[in-house]
């Protein structure tokens, strides 16, 4: 997908590689307790293979990179703030690693995990 | 008996009794005040070398929301009050550090659920629960952050509880441990080490504990003067503006204290000599800055010699220096007259980081200018105000900074006017866009044209690194000149000239036609002319223009098109 040409050849970065960065960045981001699949069928197959890009979709249209994250947030945190900070973290980490601008990071909150009830 | 606790002369003893809800309010107010006093110190601990950190602000806003929740409450039950605090913190949580802070409060509140008066055991237990709750909020906790500080503090509290059950003594242990823990953060998190800073969120948490400590010891909470800033964030240039009559000499002394510097008394002694006092610290070296009258110009040096070993002294006659300085941009021509707009036409509102840039936008047809840019982002409210009074309902906004685009979009949703935000991330992009403006054209077409223009220009920025850091393989020392191309750090250099030329080379300026250089408010004019001459020699085929931009922070903003 993402491509860059240098005088001695070109560099290809696959969506999967980008997704792996996003995966780690998302899990390190405060308030995110897990990633989940876009839909149930995917969820079952991915649960079997333990995919490092589980819950993340990366799209590249030849020009811009769009990323969708499907996350589970800790109950009791402010969802809006957590989502905003995941967006920032993922964007920062990918742009840092890839050196390419990200067009959009869309966060889909798929559920909440309840550790403690107040 | 408990009402004694609220007497203004706070004494150690009052803190050791069981605490009620009203006392929690006092403590929270103290932490908030102290955190706000040190907000800039926390903000300055950002990792990227361009000033844009805001952890301190986020934490203050979160604490402020928590305090607002209880400020009018007469509740005396400690547990109920703590729950209100947690609720306020949750509602007001801003940014990563704010969310973590709200989780700490949430755990704290849960631990004191049915507690009417808080005692030492309850306090330490609450700190442990706060830590556990905060850690549950993330799958892979990053150590060397505010989380680590909360963990270390809780552990230290548990240990100390075995020796004493006096709240006052426990608090002292906690504040000390918080400080040590913050100092250790660079050992745990390499990115902090690379940037040469401690973790900002952890530092903020330290100030929250220290605020309580200072309050119960009756120490001042709003005395900004006794704070030490990181050396890198000392802005001595700005101190020039605050010259007072009679304070003719500027003295700057670097020194290593013989023993731990007693800041309040240090400041106290300096205040008797002069004004504009600033003290910075970095790696055990302190830097003191002061303005003094002519006859006292050697006093600060003599005084500093009594507290430490002097390594460097710089003295300057400010009056003579003022005479040399050309009138600064802001005094030069303070008026910008935006272009007029008729009803039904398309109006353009541009955000400009300096007077000169504002004038250029106005001359190209901007109908309103908002002052703002890096580190001084205008609020949504200011943006709405700027176009509310224009006699047309079609407005195009040029944010000219990536941090303002969002505020602009929010503003566009909050107004009845038809507002389009062109996502210009820099001044050159904004200028490229406004060139395509057709005031009487079809709104959607004009917006489309202007948005397309954004990619036709390359943006170069030259500024000074505020700290040591390594990003994208470019190593930067504090104080070095750095160049950014389209927002990415591409090189660092010792000289402004090399940075400009290096930037133009990397931007392949020889493939473009026009190079426009906007010089900043602190850029020396003679140097500007020298550099522009060099650029003209290196790029004979390109048109090279120079403009007075007056923007702060950036020595040059360069448009290459």
pLDDT digits 0-9 by tens, A22-40:
998 898 889 999 888 776 5
Characterize the bridge pairing of strands A32-35 and A56-60. Answer: unpaired
Q: Is the pLDDT of residue B12 over 50?
A: no
Does B355 share its domain with B423? yes
Q: What is the pLDDT of residue B328?
A: 43
DSSP output for B334-347 = ----PPP--TTSEE
Q: What is the rounded CA–CA span in Å between residue B277 and residue A104?
A: 46
Q: Which residue of B has its CA nearest to A100?
A: B488
Q: Say how many C-beta atoms besides its own lie within 10 A of residue B410's C-beta.
A: 15
B87–A contact, CB cutoff 8 A? no
Record: contact A99-B488, CB cut-off 8 A: yes
Q: Say how many C-beta atoms besides its own lie within 10 A of residue A40's C-beta.
A: 8
B125 is a domain residue: yes
pLDDT category, B80, cuts 50, 70, 90? very high
3-state secondary structure of B136: helix
pLDDT category, B188, cuts 50, 70, 90? very high
pLDDT tens profile B362-384: 888 888 888 877 667 777 777 87
DSSP output for B503-529 = HHHHTTGGGSSEEEEEE-TTS-HHHHH
Does B110 share its domain with B257? no
Distance of CA B343 to the CA centre of its chain: 40
Which of A30, A99, A115 is opposite residue B100, by nearest beta carbon?
A30
Does B156 share its domain with B272? no
**Fold of the A2-113 domain:** Alpha-Beta Plaits (3.30.70)
CA distance A97 to chain B (A): 8
How close are the terminal C-alpha atoms of chain B, in Å? 75
B355 is a domain residue: yes
- Number of C-alpha atoms within 13 angstroms, CB side, residue B519? 20
Q: What is the rounded CA–CA span in Å between residue B51 and residue B79?
A: 40
* Strand ranges, E, within B455-551: 458-464, 469-471, 474-476, 481-485, 488-493, 514-519, 543-548
Q: Are B66 and B506 in contact (CB under 8 A)?
A: no
A116–B contact, CB cutoff 8 A? yes
Record: contact A78-B90, CB cut-off 8 A: yes
Domain with residue B7: its CATH number is 1.25.40.340
Q: What is the pLDDT of residue A52?
A: 66
- Buried b or exposed e, range A83-102, using 16+ CB within 10 angstroms: bbbbbebbbebbbeebebeb
B548 is a domain residue: yes
B353 is a domain residue: yes
Record: contact A30-B138, CB cut-off 8 A: yes
Q: Among candidates B205, B56, B218, which has minimal Cα distance to B134?
A: B205
Q: Which residue of B has its CA nearest to A89?
A: B96
Q: What is the pLDDT of residue B178?
A: 95
DSSP output for B368-430 = EEEE-BTTBPPPHHHHHHHHHTSS-SEEEEE--STTTHHHHHHHHHSSSSEEEE----SHHHH
B324 is a domain residue: no
Domain with residue B375: its CATH number is 3.40.50.510
Query: In terms of pLDDT, which residue wins out, B135 or B259?
Result: B135
Q: What is the rounded CA–CA span in Å between residue B237 and residue B288?
A: 14
3-state secondary structure of B133: helix
B110–A contact, CB cutoff 8 A? yes
Give the end of a domain, one of B269, B300, B319. B319
B508–A contact, CB cutoff 8 A? no
Does B208 share its domain with B297? no
B171 is a domain residue: yes
Q: What is the pLDDT of residue B467?
A: 76
Segment holding B33, helix H or strand E: helix B21-37
Query: In terms of pLDDT, which residue wins out, B325 or B185?
Result: B185
pLDDT tens profile A79-104: 998 998 899 889 888 888 887 788 99
Does B192 share its domain with B248? no
Find the Cα–Cα–Cα–Cα dihedral A79, A84, A90, A92, rounded to 10°: -150
Angle between helices B427-434 and B443-453 (to 10 degrees): 140
Does B161 share its domain with B39? yes
Residues from chain A that touch B471, judged by Cβ atoms under 8 A, are 96
Q: Give chain B's mean pLDDT.
A: 81
Distance of CA B540 to the CA centre of its chain: 41
CA distance A41 to chain B (A): 24
B471–A contact, CB cutoff 8 A? yes
Distance of CA B379 to the CA centre of its chain: 15
Q: Are B353 and B372 in contact (CB under 8 A)?
A: yes
Does B203 share its domain with B86? yes
The CB-based long-range contact list for B127-130 (8 Å cut-off, 24+ gap) reads B127/B153, B127/B154, B127/B157, B127/B174, B128/B154, B128/B157, B128/B158, B130/B103, B130/B104, B130/B105, B130/B106, B130/B154
Q: What is the rounded CA–CA span in Å between residue B458 and residue B421?
A: 20
pLDDT tens profile B203-252: 999 999 999 999 988 887 776 544 555 555 454 444 443 445 566 777 88
B424 is a domain residue: yes
Domain with residue B283: its CATH number is 3.30.70.260
CA distance A40 to chain B (A): 22
Residues from chain A that touch B484, judged by Cβ atoms under 8 A, are none
Does B359 share its domain with B504? no
Does B397 share its domain with B343? yes
In degrees and rounded to multiples of 5, residue A4 shows phi and psi of -145, 140
Q: Which residue of B has its CA nearest to A92?
A: B48
- Name the token pair of B210: 């220290």
Q: Say how many C-beta atoms besides its own lie within 10 A of residue B265's C-beta.
A: 11
Q: Are B394 and B364 in contact (CB under 8 A)?
A: no
- Name the token pair of B326: 């050309």
Domain that holds residue B272: 229-319
ipTM: 0.74
B94–A contact, CB cutoff 8 A? yes
Q: Is the pLDDT of residue B408 over 50?
A: yes
Residues from chain A that touch B91, judged by Cβ atoms under 8 A, are 78
Record: contact A99-B95, CB cut-off 8 A: no
Task: State the count of interchain CB pairs (< 8 A) between A and B.
Answer: 72
Which value, in Å, is the radius of gyration of the alpha carbons in chain A?
15
Domain regions of chain A by residue span: 2-113
Residues from chain A that touch B137, judged by Cβ atoms under 8 A, are 30-31, 33, 74, 77
Which of B96, B110, B139 is opposite residue A118, by nearest beta carbon?
B110
Residues from chain B that touch A85, judged by Cβ atoms under 8 A, are 95-96, 99
Characterize the bridge pairing of strands B469-471 and B474-476. Answer: antiparallel
Does B361 share its domain with B217? no
Record: contact B93-A32, CB cut-off 8 A: no
Does B88 share its domain with B208? yes
Q: For B327, which DSSP code?
A: P
**How many helices and strands in chain B, by DSSP H and E?**
23, 17
Q: Is the pLDDT of residue B324 over 50?
A: no
B212–A contact, CB cutoff 8 A? no
Does B450 share its domain with B505? no
Q: How many domains would you assign to chain B?
A: 4
pLDDT category, B181, cuts 50, 70, 90? very high
pTM above 0.90, yes or no: no
3-state secondary structure of B229: strand
DSSP output for A68-107 = EEEEEEETTS-HHHHHHHHHHHHHHHHHHHH-S-EEEEEE
Which of B99, B110, B488 is opposite residue A30, by nearest beta carbon?
B99
Q: Give chain A's mean pLDDT.
A: 82
Q: What is the pLDDT of residue B355?
A: 82
B248 contact partners, CB below 8 Å, separation of at least 6:
B291, B292, B293, B294, B317, B318, B319
């Amino acid at each position: 997908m993402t491509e860059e040409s240098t005088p001695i050849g070109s560099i290809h970065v696959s969506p999967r590689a980008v997704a792996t960065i996003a995966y780690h960045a998302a899990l390190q981001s405060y308030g995110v307790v897990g990633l989940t699949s876009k839909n149930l069928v995917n969820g079952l197959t991915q649960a079997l293979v333990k995919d490092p890009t589980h819950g993340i979709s990366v799209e590249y249209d030849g020009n811009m990179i769009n990323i969708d994250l499907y996350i589970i947030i800790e109950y009791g945190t402010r969802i809006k703030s957590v989502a905003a900070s995941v967006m920032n973290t993922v964007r920062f980490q990918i742009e840092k690693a890839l050196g390419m601008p990200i067009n959009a990071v869309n966060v889909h909150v798929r559920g909440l995990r309840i550790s403690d009830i107040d | 008996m408990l009402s004694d606790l609220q007497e203004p002369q706070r004494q150690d003893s009052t803190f050791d009794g069981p605490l009620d809800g009203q006392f929690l309010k006092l403590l929270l107010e103290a932490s908030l005040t102290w955190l706000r006093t040190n907000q800039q110190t926390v903000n300055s601990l950002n990792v990227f070398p361009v000033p844009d950190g805001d952890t301190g602000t986020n934490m203050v806003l979160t604490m402020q929301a928590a305090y607002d929740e209880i400020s009018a409450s007469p509740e005396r039950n400690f547990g109920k009050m703590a729950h209100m605090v947690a609720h306020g913190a949750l509602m007001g949580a801003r940014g990563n550090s704010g969310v973590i802070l709200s989780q700490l409060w949430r755990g704290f509140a849960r631990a004191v659920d049915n507690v009417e008066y808080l005692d030492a055991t309850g306090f330490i237990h609450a700190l442990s629960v706060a830590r556990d709750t905060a850690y549950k909020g993330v799958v892979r906790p990053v150590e060397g952050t505010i989380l680590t500080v909360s963990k270390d503090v809780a552990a230290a509290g548990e240990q100390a509880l075995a020796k004493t059950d006096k709240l006052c003594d426990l608090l002292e242990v906690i504040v000390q441990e918080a400080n040590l823990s913050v100092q250790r953060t660079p050992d745990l998190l390499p990115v902090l080490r690379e940037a040469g800073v401690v973790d900002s969120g952890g530092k903020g948490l330290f100030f929250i504990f220290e605020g309580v400590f200072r309050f119960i010891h009756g120490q001042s909470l709003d005395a900004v003067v006794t704070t030490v800033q990181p050396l890198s964030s000392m802005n001595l240039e700005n101190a020039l503006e605050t010259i007072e009559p009679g304070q003719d000499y500027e003295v700057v002394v670097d020194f290593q204290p013989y023993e731990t510097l007693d800041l309040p008394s240090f400041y106290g002694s300096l205040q008797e000599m002069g004004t504009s006092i600033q003290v910075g610290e970095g790696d055990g070296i302190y830097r003191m800055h002061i303005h003094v009258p002519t006859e006292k110009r050697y006093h600060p040096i003599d005084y500093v010699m009594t507290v430490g070993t002097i390594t460097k002294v710089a003295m300057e006659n400010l009056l003579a220096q003022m005479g040399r300085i050309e009138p600064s941009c802001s005094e030069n021509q303070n008026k910008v007259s935006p272009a007029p707009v008729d009803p039904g036409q398309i109006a353009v509102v541009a955000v400009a980081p300096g007077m000169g840039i504002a004038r250029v936008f106005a001359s190209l047809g901007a109908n309103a200018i908002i002052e703002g840019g890096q580190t001084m982002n205008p609020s949504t409210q200011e943006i709405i105000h700027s176009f509310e009074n224009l006699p047309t309902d079609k407005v195009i906004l040029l944010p000219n900074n990536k941090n303002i685009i969002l505020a602009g979009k929010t503003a566009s949703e909050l107004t009845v006017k038809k507002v389009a935000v062109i996502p210009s991330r820099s001044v050159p992009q904004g200028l490229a866009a406004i060139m395509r403006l057709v005031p009487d054209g079809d709104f959607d077409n004009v917006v489309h044209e202007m948005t397309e223009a954004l990619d036709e220009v390359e943006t170069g920025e030259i500024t000074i690194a505020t700290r040591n850091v390594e990003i994208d393989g470019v190593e930067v020392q504090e104080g070095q000149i750095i160049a950014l191309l389209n927002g990415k750090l591409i090189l660092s250099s010792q000289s402004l000239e090399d940075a400009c030329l290096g930037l133009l080379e990397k931007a392949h300026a020889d493939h473009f036609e026009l190079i426009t250089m906007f010089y900043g408010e602190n850029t020396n004019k003679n140097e500007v002319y020298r550099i522009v001459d060099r650029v003209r020699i290196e790029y004979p085929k390109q048109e090279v223009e120079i403009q007075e931009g007056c923007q702060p922070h950036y020595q040059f903003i360069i448009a290459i098109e």
